[in-house]
Structure 1
């Protein structure tokens, strides 16, 4: 007998070899029907897994993140089975679960049309209705090659595992068999509701030199009502997509002749950028003691070779010149750290000088793959609120905590604080070529960061392989309206680059020491932040961030002079205001201002001019009442100064 510790620290005994599925049935049939996979001592496994020793068992459902992944991955196999029924010549590639659903890549003669997707959905319904059992079996490499002999992409994947001498895992449902590690559902019948959402092109393994495949995106749920709610949320997301809102409201545009990933900020977008930039710079300098630098946009390859970027990041850089032909080769900068380090190196430093906090509004360039470009979220030229803190080891915790504090304050002020999650990004010791430094240095840096995060009380996850090549990171993550997660802000501990650059300080005892360095951003990427703000607020940004905060609307040309008086009073109070002098009807002018998401409209006519007042129409309400000019200015200044969101 073995002891199995269940939820709530309940311990039950079972015969060794009992499957998780049978344990779920023993607990309750309701749990068995809802179960998708399980965790045994924290490791995600299939429900078919037999338990052979004492362990902690957590049975997962669709409500759990890993449970969703299992559900969606099983649905991807149903999709692939349906495609093979309808298009037998299609070659299978991969079909993983992703945020919000799943996809499967196929090599087909021509991309699937909308009519094809409808046929595939209908075939999937038949497979689900048949409630075919999903069975796992193991195979030798030789047997696996025979099974997959007509699937070139599977054979390629198979060969990567065949040399390890392990048996290969397959899953079978009805007449469909796929090379797969799992886990999977017990049968196809659990996938009650699904929708194929689109078909696009995708290179095999993301390599533009390899075959272009047809990728079918989809999602699935245990209940039709859940699918309907999800699809409704997708439609709302499309309305809020910054690519749509940002262009409609004229915050940014793009031009084919300029290039992909190189957006143009229009006057509204440039004004929002300026507002954010001034706010961040003032906050960093006045409240956190940063000193500003301004460094070149490019440098010789020599600089990047010292930092390690040439060896570890060259493919992500825009290189100007050819090392074999040119005496000097330059590259546009993908970061500012080596530039600011040279500012530090320009003079001697004592332990009394530290910490030194360098800040810079830094324009950077990264050679992102064309398939990764998305509006302002992922671009090739972008600007970040970059900073590097040079400090003594005894200052690390306090300075790191202040970097996190600064980031949280900024995110609170702009209104994104509730949308964030935190990730400790660690190195991958199995991928040594990707990183510099020794395992001991990495253990020390990661241990320091973990202790600081625990002291702060941040709820964070850990991710192997996501660290920078020189040190671990706290990545502050955020999702766009489509559920795609990106990093918005990073705070990194670097114990390595100071030595590579020869950066030292004179300690109390007169010895030369290498400082610790913190790399950090406070707002992150301005372009990405603008995109997220447009999406979160559907274009109706908080008043303090709006390019135009007030529109003054005279009832007729007879009141243009009074409208200008109001306008001047607003501008004198530091309020961004305009006047709509057009000879249009009042209703039209008001609707135009509302469509522009302008927070306040001040209607002025005979009564307002006589009483020195304004009729207020707020974006959030139809009628804000009548106020004196002074009272309105006092009210809106309070809203702006307090950064009300």
Structure 2
């Protein structure tokens, strides 16, 4: 008589071993309809799984993250089934869940077309409406290999060869389609109601450029039609906000094959970029940082000492000189910061030492991974390295975390999630060191009352890290800032400070970036604001437009006055109609347009217009200047509060 313990602590006893579906039905008909799968003693299983012992059970519904992942993975199987029915010559490979959807890779003689996707999606809806039962079975390794080889599914057979001996091999069948899969899955295809195929792209088998090129079909799946419609609306809005499109429209930057993955900044884009640096420079100065700079190219020996040569070599650009010395473009700023700390004797009175650097780094990213400003090979980090005593470590973590939240708030990001990534399998340093470092990060978050999620095994090779995830204006999440604690690099470089007893001690090193990559953060800002930046950040804050050439001198004088007041201003003196000029600069997303005709010139006034078309009236020059200066006021005019600069009390 199995006894089933539910998440609320209640128990139910069954005369015969029940399935997960039986337990759901015993609890209530609503739950029976909502359940997709279950977790038996924390192991995910299908609704058909029979529980033949006392166990703890939680039910998975479509409204949970786990349930949504099951819907999406089951939809990937539905996609593969539809493709096999429409294109019998296609071979199936893998179909995992990804963020907000799924994909499935196929080996086929030609690329799939948009018309193919329409046909495939229509067949998927037919198969879902058929409400085909989804069943699971296990096969011995040799039988499973023979099964897929007999069907001509050679990629599946290859996958089985890579699965460790002794691991169960399960297959899931729906109708005439059967696929290798760990599961769990929905009980029937009828549970898949809200899905859409989104695009097709090329992909290498197992991500290896030396292997076959496959066709990857992407899709998305949601619990209901309303959630799907909301997602598609977000995608449509994201397309309008694409920073690559807006970058061209607003004349901010471009890319060129002569320097793959490197940005060519135009004047307006570079102005925006410099505003970010100026903002961060001021905030860091306010928070007690000093600014430094280190070389872009350093000897291989330095990278061997740091461990990057052995852990990051494939992503480094190197060169060999005529005397056979090997140098590398720095992929990280950390070793340079250590070298700076090592210059001269440091006392405990010098700590904490907070060194900031806007360092250029270079990392080889595969060409297929490059994506506008969001994934580049050459970028600038707002890096900082904090050297402190072990006793100061948690306080410095808390200060950095508080600064992160304060800075993101200035850019309009009020929703920030935190992830704690712990020790990876491939790492340097002993477990005692990792315990101390992980406790410093988690302890700081706990003291501050900040919720966080743990990502086991996702830390850097030299230390655990916090990742700060921003939610933008249309609900998308972006991982930006990081904070890492490190006792390993100080050990490897043998740096020290002198304590109160004149003894040499090893400092703790904190690695901190708030924007992360300035290029990437710029791309995120472009999409977050849809190119219409806050006035304080806009590359051009006001454009002075003339109606005729008679006002040219007056417009030039206005621009000079605006610039003397610290505003970014320009004039459009072209011999074009004023309506044309207004439309053009509205599309350029200039926050303010100052229109001057003959009446304004004679009366010393300006007709001011906001980007949204609001006419702010004819203003005197003094009132015009006052309004613009007030509108362009930077958040730097609001000093960080004491809670942003000091850690909370324990």
**Shared fold (TM-score, shorter chain, > 0.5):** yes
The CA distance in 1 between the partners of 2:497 and 2:226, in whole Å, is 64
CA contact (8 A) 2:330 2:361 kept: yes
Give 1:569's match in structure 2, choosing from 561, 572, 575. Answer: 561
Pair 1:235–1:595, CA change in 2 (3 A)? same
1:425 and 2:421 are equivalent in the alignment: yes
Q: Which residue of 1 aligns with 2:162?
A: 160
1:229–1:314 CA distance, 2 compared to 1 (3 A): same
* Residue 388 (1) aligns with residue 390 (2): no
For residue 234 of structure 1, what is the aligned residue in structure 2?
235
Distance 1:10 1:615 in 2: 70
Match of 1:18, SS? Answer: coil
Alpha-carbon distance change, 489 to 53 in structure 1, aligned in 2, over 3 angstroms:
farther
Report the Cα distance in structure 1 between the residues aligned to 2:162 and 2:465, rounded to whole angstroms.
31
Q: Name stretches of at least 5 consecutive residues in structure 1 with no aligned partner.
A: none
- Say if 2:68 is the partner of 1:68: yes
Specify which of 423, 428, 441 is matched with residue 436 of structure 1.
428
5 Å-filtered alignment, 1:130-529, equals 130-149=130-149, 150-163=152-165, 165-259=166-260, 261-285=261-285, 287-321=286-320, 327-418=324-415, 420-428=416-424, 431=425, 434-478=426-470, 487-529=479-521
Looking at structure 1, the residues matched to 394 and 243 of structure 2 have their Cα atoms a distance apart, in angstroms, of 37
Which residue of structure 2 aligns with residue 19 of structure 1?
Answer: 19
List 4+ stretches of structure 1 deviating above 6 A: 479-484
Structure 1 residue 279 displacement after superposition: 1.2
Give deviations 1:468-494, integer Å, cap 9, x for gaps. Answer: 110000011246899886531110010
Q: Give the 3 Å change call, closer, same or farther, for CA 264–39 of structure 1 in structure 2.
A: farther
Aligned partner of residue 624 in structure 1, secondary structure: strand
* Deviation per residue, 1:242-278 (Å, 9 max, x gap): 111112211111112322x112111111111111111
Which string of whole-angstrom CA distances, capped at 9 and with x for unpartnered residues, describes residues 92-114 of structure 1? 11101111211000111111122
- Alpha-carbon shift at residue 49 of structure 1 (Å): 3.5
Q: Which sits farther off after the overlay, 230-239 or 471-480?
A: 471-480
Question: How far did residue 544 of structure 1 move?
Answer: 0.7
Does the CA contact (< 8 Å) of 2:397 and 2:440 recur in 1?
A: no
Q: 1:632 aligns with which of 600, 624, 629?
A: 624
CA distance in 2, matches of 1:84, 1:483: 36
How far is the alpha carbon of 1:454 from its aligned partner?
1.3
More deviation in 607-616 or 130-139? Answer: 607-616
Count of matched residue positions in the alignment of Structure 1 and Structure 2: 633
* Kept after mapping to 2: 8 A contact 1:382/1:525: yes
CA distance in structure 1 between the aligned counterparts of 2:58 and 2:629, rounded to whole angstroms: 53
What are the superposed Cα offsets for residues 158-183 of structure 1, whole Å, 9 maximum, x if unpaired?
Answer: 123241x1321221111111111112
Separation of aligned partners in 2, 1:39 and 1:21: 12
Query: In 1, Cα distance between the equivalents of 2:199 and 2:313?
Result: 34
Residue in 1 that maps onto 2:584: 592
Contact 1:73/1:97, CA 8 A, preserved across alignment: yes
Q: TM-score, normalised by structure 2?
A: 0.93
Tell me how far 1:47 sits from its aligned partner.
2.9
User: Do the aligned partners of 1:44 and 1:66 also contact (CA within 8 Å) in 2?
Assistant: no
Q: CA RMSD in A?
A: 2.2
Gaps of 5+ in 2: 639-650
- After superposition, the C-alpha distances for 1:411-453 in whole angstroms (9 at most, x for unaligned) are 11122343x321101123xx3xx21111222222112211111
Specify the alignment match of 2:645 in structure 1: none
Say if 1:249 and 1:58 are closer, same or farther in 2 by CA, change over 3 A. Answer: farther
In structure 1, C-alpha distance between the alignment counterparts of 2:205 and 2:476, rounded to whole Å: 21
Change (3 A) 1:582 1:247: same
Using structure 1 for the length normalisation, give the TM-score.
Answer: 0.93
Q: Report 1:526-545 matches (<5 A).
A: 526-545=518-537
